[in-house]
A and B are shown apart, each in its own frame.
Chain A
Amino acid sequence: MGQRFANAPRWIWSYLAAAVVYLAIVVIAAGAGSFQTFSIALQFATFFVIAGLGQMLVITAGPGNIDLSIPGVMTLAGYLATGAMHGSNAGLLSGLALGLLIGLGAGLFNLALIRLLRIPPMVGTLASGFIYQSAAIAYSSHAVTQPSPLLAAFTSGRVLGVSAMTVLFILLTAACAVGLQRTRAGRAVLALGQNRRAASLAGFRVGGALSLVYLASGLLAAIAGILLAAYSGGASLDMAREYLLMSIAVVVIGGTSIAGGDPAPPGLWGSAMLLGLLVTMLNLLHMPEGVRLIATGGVIIGVLAVATPQGP
Chain B
Amino acid sequence: MPAGQPALAAALPRFKIALPVAALAAMFGIIFWIRPAIFSYFGIGLLLDLAMPAVFASMAQMCVIAINDIDLGIGPFISLTSCIAATLLVRAPAAGLLALAAAIGAYALMGGLIHVRRLPSIVVTLGASFIWLGCALLLLPSPGGGAPSLIAGFVNLSPPLVPLPILVLAGAAFLGHLLLMRTARGAVLRGIGGNAKAVEQAGWSLARGRMLLYGIAGACGVIAGLLLDGINTSGDATVGAQYTLTSIAAVIVGGGEFVGGDVSPVGTVTGTLIMLLTGSVLSFVNISTSWQLSVEGGILIVVLGLRALARTA
Contact = CB atoms under 8 A, between A and B. Distances in A.
Interface of A: 66, 113, 117-120, 122-124, 126-131, 133-135, 137-138, 141, 244-245, 248-249, 252, 258, 288-298, 300-301, 304-305, 308, 310-311
Interface class of chain B by DSSP: helix
Interface string B106-133: 0000000100011110111011111101
Contacts, number: 134
Interface of B: 70, 72, 113, 117-120, 122-124, 126-131, 133-138, 141, 245, 248-249, 252, 258, 288, 290-294, 296-298, 300-301, 304-305, 308-309, 312
Contacts of B312: 118
A260 to B, nearest CB: 11
B131 A297 contact: yes
B301 A297 contact: no
Given A126-B245, A138-B288, A304-B119, A113 B135 contact: no
A252 B298 contact: no
Contact of A308 (B119, B292, B293): B119
B131 A134 contact: no
Contact of A126 (B131, B248, B292): B248
Contacts of A248: 123, 126
B69 to A, nearest CB: 11
Given A122-B70, A134-B294, A293-B133, A304 B301 contact: no
B290 A141 contact: yes
B301 A294 contact: no
B126 A245 contact: yes
A218 to B, nearest CB: 16
Contacts of A113: 301, 305
B33 to A, nearest CB: 27
Nearest to B120: A258
A128 B300 CA distance: 10
Nearest to B124: A301
Residue among B72, B120, B122, B130 with the highest chain A CB neighbour number at 10 A = B130
Given A131-B294, A296-B130, 10 more contacts: A117-B301, A122-B258, A123-B300, A130-B297, A133-B293, A244-B126, A289-B134, A293-B134, A297-B127, A300-B127
A128 B117 contact: no
Given A118-B308, A288-B141, A310-B117, A304 B290 contact: no
A289 B237 CA distance: 12
Given A66-B122, A122-B70, A293 B131 contact: yes
Contact of A134 (B118, B135, B293, B304): B293
Contacts of A258: 120, 123
B187 to A, nearest CB: 25
Contacts of B294: 130-131, 134-135
Contact of A252 (B123, B137, B290): B123
B301 A119 contact: yes
Nearest to A63: B120
Q: Which of A126, A133, A289, A298 has the most CB of B within 10 A?
A: A126
A138 B124 contact: no
